[in-house]
Every structure is written in structure tokens, then in C-alpha cells.
Structure 1
Amino acid sequence: MTNQNGPPSLRVRWDNPSPTLPAVVAGPGRVLPPGFIQLGVATEIAPTLREFGLDPNPVIREAGLDPRLFDDGASVVPYAALGRLLTLCVDCTHCSHFGLLVGQRATILSLGLVGRLMQHSETVGDALHALVANLSIQDRVTVPALTTSDGTVLLSIAVYQPAAESADQVADGALAAIVNALRSLCGCDWSPAEVLVPRTPPAAREPYWRHFRAPVRFNHESATLVFPARDLERRVAGADPMMRALLEERIGHLKGPPGCEFSDDVRRLLRTRLTSHRCSADDTAELLAMHRRTLSRHLKGNGMGYRAITNELRFEIARQLLQDTQASLAQVAAVLGYSEASAFTRAFRRWSGQTPTAWRVEGQHG
């Protein structure tokens, strides 16, 4: 069944019609809208459910999606539906690390065009920069960031959709899939030095140690792989410069004109920078190579000011940490740049009408 409502650049299909959770297929050269994601790694949900002896089709339909979409990693769905599906998968399998199992089945080709570009990058560093710069063409939900300091690399993944359901499962799957991608570039014996996970310690920790082959720290504020900076200099075997140029050209066409989805691009940028406190309007404008007044004008044209966006993202990060980790209020406040837990509590009450403690308790018993 085909529905032509919604953005004109998309064809919308659903198996069990639900106007709030449509599955979409992007046409050639179309820009992916905010809140949508190519299935990619998530196509491994169906075989993972089968490993538990379950028929995936009823579970996928219950989330409001057509099971046939999972035959093609380029199928595009709203994150609201994918998050709901992952929640259902955890419930029906009684496996709190279901997202990890999905991600560890993935390969570098599960990352679509971006994965192919990584395969043909000159070095591992170039491949990771390609991931950070281009993932948005197929994923408007998660955002990667790469930082290097004192000989150590931090490759982080954040989920930035408001009230994102199963953000912990998405983070687990993304970390597992990216480790597989790095092993395809560096050799199957590669492992990070450490893995940081933004979730409470699961009942079964051994699957994490077995896949990552590295120490795993839970209750962290971000999903992060830590490894030596010298790994960035490794050459990628079999990289083809001509294929790389073709892929870069194709990806360029998928990014859309300058200013397209501008406010969402700012959100992606801020999602990883808010926790490092390098997020002033001046800093952001400089990163975007524009004057601060130009940044403000563009955002106002999209209907939202800079301060409103930063507060929206702080609220989002706070909810993820309160829901998915055991971090104290003081730790959450520090992550978000508040000097005292009391200042964070006042801000959270303005955003939600509740104290963070009450919100956390309600979520645990909801």
C-alpha cells in the first residue's frame, strides 16, 4: 500500500496503517528528514529474534512496521517505530542486551554508503572522519564524534531524538557494529582499549566482554570506544581511490543544499558538545564557519532559538541518563555543565514540572 501524504520526497508504506509510525523509502538523491533512519544494522533484528526461536514478523508488525522493509538495509523508518520495536524485542526475549546481539551481527557493509566509503578510505583515521562527516545521510537519530587527546582517541555515539525509546539498545548496537567495522579495517584481532556504555550494568556482562575483548565501563554519560591514536594511521588494505571519489560524489548529492535541515544539523553538532561544555553560540557559529548573528537568523527562520535548542538537548540528555544509568544527580548535573545539583534540579523542574528524582522514580515504576 502506498500513501503520498507527508514529505513529497518520500514514499510512505505501512503494513498495519499507523499515521504516527509510517515506514518510508527515500527516493534517489532525497534528503533524509529529521527523526528518520535507514535500517542498516537494524535489519539484523529479524535474524536475532529467530535465534531466540521467535517469529520476527508479529513483533515487527506490533511496532507498526512492515516486515518486508527488513529485507533491505536502505529502507527508511521513523526512529519512534524502531525504538518501540527494540523495546518489544527486549520484552519478548527477556534479554536486556538485545541491542548488543543485533550490532555484533553487523558488518561494515551494514553501514551502507558510508561503510563503503570507509572501506575505500586511505587510512583508518580517514575512514572514521568519513563516518562522522557523512552518517547523517542515512541516520538522523544517532551522531558520532571523534576526538583525540594525549595519544588516545575517543569515538562516541549519541542518540539525539527527544524522549528516545530504547536509546540504550541503540547505543549498544552502534558500538558493537562499529567495532566490527574497525576490525574489518584493522584486522580481526583489533580491539579497543576500553568501552564506555551509557546504561546500567546488565544481568549478563559476559557478552560485552566477549564481543569487545576489552574492559567495559557501564553508567557512563556516553557510548564511547577508547583506543590508541596510532591506530588512526593504519592503512586500509584494498582501498580504491577511484571508488572513493565516486562514493564521495554520490554522498555529496545526498546531503542536500546548504541550509537544508539546518536546525537539525545544529542539534547533531550540539548533542556531543553539550557534555564537553564547548557549546556556546559563538563556538557553534565558528564551527559552522558563520557569524553568530547569521546562526541566530538561520535558527529563527527554522522557528527556534539557540538557547531553546540547547535546553531541549540538555533535557533530552538528562532523561537518558536518569532512565538508562545509575548516575547520581550531581554526576548528571556535572555532565550538563551545572556547577551544582540544585541548579540542575531547578532547570529540570522547569522542563518537566517534576524534580529529576521524582521523574526517575516514576520512570522505574511506569
Structure 2
Amino acid sequence: MSSFGLVGFLVQHSPDVGTALRNFVRFLHLHVHGTAPTLAVNGRRASFGYEIHQPRIESVDQLADAGVAAGFNILHPCAAPDWLPVEVQFAHPKPKDTSPFQSVLQRPLRFDAEQNAVVFSADWLDHQMPGADSELRRLLQKQIDALEAKHVDAFHEQVRAVLKTALLTSHGTAGSNCWPVLDAQSHLASPVAACGTSFQELLDEGRFSVAKQMLEDSSAGVSEIAATLDYSNASAFTRAFRRWSGTTPAAWRTDQRKTSGRKPQSTGGRNS
């Protein structure tokens, strides 16, 4: 965790695993840009995920694999020596040789999933962090708050990144557990308003970004994209897209492919 600087030390000295992971999700943007960790709880299971939001990154599957392995390595010492995940998920197709994955993770693997994530029992979130120092945590939090105050725009970008992840994994609502970055903002009365915008504006902006990504980089149909973005039907999505871009999704896709000469990729597990 020391490789994550102040954020890593804050995680190490958080009172419990749930708080540690929420701190990691909430403040990682101060240390790394272009990625968004997520923490979601669904019933008795929790998932600690990793997404890359920089467009057109090379070897994105390998980077996602590294992110999942890092998540595994973060959770293992935080929880307990006997901690093991229920399942490890990857958004890319199953490789021909899965032995390297098995040797490191030693748990059931699922490929073509909606996200890159380590899935584990939500009971572990209440597990006390070993060696946590409350006074040191207070000092670390004070330093991080001061650092973040200098980078308000970075918080705005983090909200955008987490929203994009939420949309791609069908959690694009303000009440979703995929929104720890919003829920954990304690020193601003309204973190979204503090960014000079509204949730709906960010949601529309995120939908437009995801729609363009899927139209350009996948073979997903308009109906499929509309469903991913939680529109009631393709017509509603087309009307929204025309409002954002001045043209239809099909026309935009055709123009982009003529310009770039790129061929559509497989939709994979996330249709993106």
C-alpha cells in the first residue's frame, strides 16, 4: 500500500475493511489519473472493481488484469490471512491459457463479465484493520483534505469516471452503491453542486461519452446501447443522442468509421 502514497497509508490505518476500501475509491484520484476503482455491495456480496477511463489505451485488457491483481493484493492483507474471494471477474474474453490467473488468484474465474472485479463476502467489510492507528489516521486525513482542496477539478473528473463505470455496469443511479465517491464526500455539503453542475447534467454527459465509445469501438446495436444506458427504448436514446450531437447514432457511427477507418470490435461482456 505504500506505493499509493498518502492514500495507501490512509487505507492501512482505516478502522475497518469497508472504510479502507471506500477511502481507496474516494481518494485514489489524488495519486493516479485515468482509472476508477469501485466498491459495490449487493446483498451478501461485495465487489471491489477497477476500470480504465483513458480512451484508446493500448493493452487495456492486460492493464485491467493488473488492476484486478492489485485489488486482490490490497484486500488480502486488509481482511485477514484466511481471506479469499468468492469469484474474480474479468470484462475481457477468456484467454487460451488461464493457468497464470489461477496460480495468482486461486479462485473461480469468470470472463466476459460486466466488470473487472474481486467479489467477496460483504461480511468482511466489517472486519477490523490490523494495526490501525486512529491518531495517525487523523493526521493523514488532514493532509489529504488539504491536498484535495487544491484539486477541486480532479474531484469533478473522478465523479465523471465513476459515473461512466456505473453506466457500463448498469448502476447509473444516484442511490447506487457504486457511488461511494459521492457518499463519502463529508467536507462538502453537496459534492456534485460544488462542481458547479447537477447530477442529471453529469448523467447526460456520462451517457453521451459511453454512447460514443460503444458506437465507435463496438458492434453493439442502437437498441443494445439504449438498454445499457437505461433508456426505455431505442427511440428515446436516439432523441437524446440527436440533442447532444445534432445527428443520429447510426449517422455518427458511420461518420466516425469513415474518418478513422477503424473496424468495430466485439462487444465482449460489457458491450464496450
TM-score (ref. length: structure 1): 0.55
Task: Tell me: CA distance 1:334–1:116, structure 2 relative to 1, closer, same or farther (3 Å).
Answer: same
Give, in angstroms, the shift of residue 244 of structure 1.
Answer: 1.4
Residue 278 (structure 1) aligned to one of 167, 172, 179 = 172
Q: Which residue of 1 aligns with 2:41?
A: 148
Conserved 8 A contact 2:91-2:112: yes
Which secondary structure state, in structure 2, belongs to the residue aligned with residue 255 of structure 1? Answer: helix
Range that drifts further, 162-171 or 229-238:
162-171
Which amino acid is the alignment partner of residue 353 of structure 1? Answer: D
The alignment status of 1:210 with 2:141, answered yes or no, reads no
Give, in angstroms, the shift of residue 166 of structure 1.
Answer: 2.6
Which structure 2 residues correspond to residues 56-71 of structure 1 after superposition, within 5 A? Answer: none
Residue 223 (structure 1) aligned to one of 82, 105, 116 = 116
Seq. identity, %: 29
Conserved 8 A contact 1:262-1:299: no
Which secondary structure state, in structure 1, belongs to the residue aligned with residue 18 of structure 2? Answer: helix
Q: Which residue of 1 aligns with 2:92?
A: 199
Q: Which residue of 2 aligns with 1:167?
A: 60
Q: Which residue of 1 aligns with 2:211?
A: 314
Which structure 2 residues correspond to residues 1-366 of structure 1 after superposition, within 5 A? Answer: 108-257=1-150, 259-261=152-154, 263-275=156-168, 276-279=170-173, 290=190, 298-299=196-197, 307-316=204-213, 322=218, 329=221, 334-338=227-231, 347=249, 349-350=251-252, 353=255, 361=263
Conserved 8 A contact 2:47-2:119: yes
Conserved 8 A contact 1:195-1:216: yes
Conserved 8 A contact 2:14-2:129: yes
Give, in angstroms, the shift of residue 140 of structure 1.
Answer: 1.8
TM-score (ref. length: structure 2): 0.72
- Which structure 1 segments of 5+ residues have no match? 1-107
| Residue deviations 1:79-119 (CA, integer Å, cap 9, x gap) | xxxxxxxxxxxxxxxxxxxxxxxxxxxxx333332222211
Give, in angstroms, the shift of residue 189 of structure 1.
Answer: 3.6
Give, in angstroms, the shift of residue 168 of structure 1.
Answer: 1.8
Task: Tell me: CA distance 1:186–1:262, structure 2 relative to 1, closer, same or farther (3 Å).
Answer: closer
Task: For 2:252 and 2:173, locate their aligned partners in 1 and report how far apart those are by CA, in whole Å.
Answer: 21
- Which structure 2 segments of 5+ residues have no match? 242-247, 267-272
Conserved 8 A contact 2:164-2:210: yes
Task: For 1:206 and 1:331, locate their aligned partners in 2 and report how far apart those are by CA, in whole Å.
Answer: 33
Instruction: Identify which of structures 1 and 2 has the higher relative contact order when contacts are C-alpha pairs closer than 8 Å and 6+ apart.
Output: 2
| Residue deviations 1:162-212 (CA, integer Å, cap 9, x gap) | 333332222111110110111112234422101111112112112112222
